[in-house]
Amino acid sequence: MTLGRIRELRQQQGLTLHQLAGLTGLSVGMISQVERGITDPSLETLRRISDAFGVPLFDLFREDEPEPVTVVRKDARRRVSSPQGQIVYSQVSRTGGRLELLEAAIEPGAASSGERRSHASEECVLVLTGRLRVEVGRDVYDLDAGDSCHFDSTIPHRFVNPHASVARYLVAVTPPST
């Protein structure tokens, strides 16, 4: 995985490796290794970096401006996962658009994040297989395959799988979350 865009964004924003490390809570060495493609960063590492830049996570992978029509082949999708691989996101849409479509697989007992997160977007999640719990604000919604949930992403939220089998789902985000 090449993440040269991180170096480009860091330089555009006039940040040193030390300053970016301070903003993200990551080590200078880790950021340097990610920029040079030496290490494969976790989902949480990428979230911290994209939050520091104020850009959608998958924008870290963007190399050029998108073409008017983009075909994303299944075996060429960009993927990110949690440190233990309990949740894997696969980007279905192109990078750099006003809509982000992700396919996810979440293992039993896993959550999309340790605590509920918010961002300036709206989301719609559609469960493909298994069962998924969607926590939005103080509310909890249990979804079965074929069910969907549309919500304002400025409300802290996360996805949880308290069930015994893997859940697969699609999530559309507009605009892509930062």
Q: Domain-by-domain residue ranges, the chain? A: 4-55, 74-174
Find the Cα–Cα–Cα–Cα dihedral 164, 102, 23, 2, rounded to 10°.
Answer: 110
One-letter amino acid for residue 91 of the chain: Q
Q: In this structure, what are the phi and psi dihedrals at residue 110, rounded to the nearest 5 degrees?
A: -95, 165
C-alpha distances (whole Å) from 78 to each of 43, 59, 104, 170 are 12, 11, 12, 15
Mean pLDDT of 9-16: 88
Which value, in Å, is the radius of gyration of the alpha carbons in the chain? 16
Structural contact between residues 124 and 136, judged by C-beta atoms closer than 8 angstroms: no
Is the pTM of the predicted complex or chain greater than 0.75?
A: no
pLDDT in tens, 19-46: 998 999 998 888 888 888 788 788 888 8
Of the candidate CATH numbers 1.10.40.30, 1.10.1530.10, 1.10.260.40, 3.90.550.10, the domain formed by 4-55 belongs to 1.10.260.40
* Mean pLDDT over the full length of the chain: 88
Tokens of residue 47, six digits: 């979230």
CA dist 148 and 20 (Å) reads 37
Give 3's pLDDT tier (boundaries 50, 70, 90): low
Question: Would you say domain 74-174 falls under CATH 3.20.20.450?
Answer: no
